[in-house]
Homo-oligomer: A and B are copies of this chain.
Amino acid sequence: MNEAASLNFDTLKLSCGQCNLRELCFPYGMPEEDLHRLDAVVELRRPLRKGDYLYRESGPAKSIFAVRSGSLKTMVESPNGDEQIVGFHLAGELVGLDGFRDDKHTCACIALETSSVCELPVSRLEQLCEQVPALQKQIRRIMGKEITTDHAMLLMLGKMSAEEKLASFLLSLSRRMEERRWKADDFVLSMPRQDIANYLGLAVETVSRLFANYQEEGIIDVDRRRIHIRQMQRLEQIVGECKS
């Protein structure tokens, strides 16, 4: 255990109004004056290291979390023991919304790399909701977005071929990179092939072969986890032309 790791992280807290993720995160669209009140709710947590759990399935759900840096994955477990990754989460995205059902988490959340999160305790969030009616709407919006994202993923798993799935995955990542003002066509995957395969409902070997195919065709350059997209429109074309 590092001594520095036991610092009081409240002293490091940044205000939501000054956070460069505010347009992507919880504060999006909220009036300036309400953001100050939000600050009082947010706690900065000690950073997670790769592989650390933020929360576990069926564990108590007292908070929701905003990713501040790094990235996380959420996964559900089947009765027979194998797991399905249901989402990858980048800076500014929120996790833990599944816990609203009955204050228990129905999925586990694990850091893909060293990551930090802001914690929003539900009890305090509820209190603030009574003072700031706009906050309720905000929560509903965020949850509505989660539902829409899950629906898109259902479509992917249910209807797409392996080739389409991977193209769809890369495009989704690329767009999220762009939202964050990072390069849309040049980024590093924070997850291993195994996780990509799991997420897409494929075998690792298939993912590996598809990357090789894309590279062969000059659509992307792959070096380990580094991805450079050379022909974005080809990827879009692959996703658009199902069953042809």
Contact = CB atoms under 8 A, between A and B. Distances in A.
A187 to B, nearest CB: 23
A106 B155 contact: no
A141 interface: yes
Q: Classify chain A: how many residues form its interface, as a range.
A: 35 or more
A25 interface: no
A201 B158 contact: yes
Interface in A98-138: 98-102, 106-107, 126, 129-130, 133, 136-137
A153 interface: yes
Contact of A98 (B76, B81, B147, B155): B147
Contacts of A34: none
Copies of this chain, count: 2
A60 to B, nearest CB: 14
A145 interface: yes
Given A76-B155, A97-B144, 12 more contacts: A79-B242, A80-B242, A81-B242, A84-B154, A106-B148, A126-B137, A140-B143, A143-B143, A143-B144, A143-B147, A147-B147, A157-B157
Interface of A: 76, 78-84, 86, 97-102, 106-107, 126, 129-130, 133, 136-137, 139-141, 143-148, 150-155, 157-160, 198-201, 239-244
A136 B147 contact: no
A205 to B, nearest CB: 16
A200 B159 CA distance: 10
Contacts of A199: 158
Contacts of A146: 147
A240 to B, nearest CB: 5
A143 B94 CA distance: 15
A140 B61 CA distance: 13
Contact of A150 (B80, B82, B100, B154): B154
Contacts of A100: 140-141, 143-144, 147
13 contacts: A76-B155, A98-B151, A100-B143, A100-B147, A101-B148, A102-B141, A102-B144, A130-B133, A143-B143, A143-B144, A150-B154, A153-B154, A158-B198
